[in-house]
Amino acid sequence: MTNCTTFLQTRQKTLVALGWTLLVLIAGASLVVDSGSAHSWTEQHVPFFWSLFGFIAAVVIIGIARWLGRSGIQAPTDIYDRSLTPICEEEE
């Protein structure tokens, strides 16, 4: 796994360019799709509606997950570095 991470980190510019290319291709493909049988007004008249909807939904989900993590669900980063000594040392 470390080799894969190092491989991707050394090719970061290529990955960013690939991501932008895929984004442009998906947006271009959504312009070609026939919107005549769309279910609502927004689908027919708002370009990239489902792309925008999916992006906004992902941002909301990530925001909620970060908020939950910071509110106490997430474990401390040094949890494995802590010693195994008892919390209450008065008993000894």
CA dist 4 and 2 (Å) reads: 5
Give backbone dihedrals phi and psi of 43, rounded to 5 degrees, phi first: -65, -35
pTM: 0.55
What is the arithmetic mean of pLDDT over 8-34?
A: 88
| Mean of all residue pLDDT scores within the chain | 83
Tokens for 76? 């401390």
Residues 6 or more apart whose CB falls under 8 angstroms from that of 43 comprise: 35, 49, 50
**What percent of the chain is modeled with pLDDT above 90?**
30
Distance separating alpha carbons of residues 23 and 88, to the nearest angstrom: 55
H runs (alpha helix) in 1-92:
2-10, 12-32, 41-45, 49-68
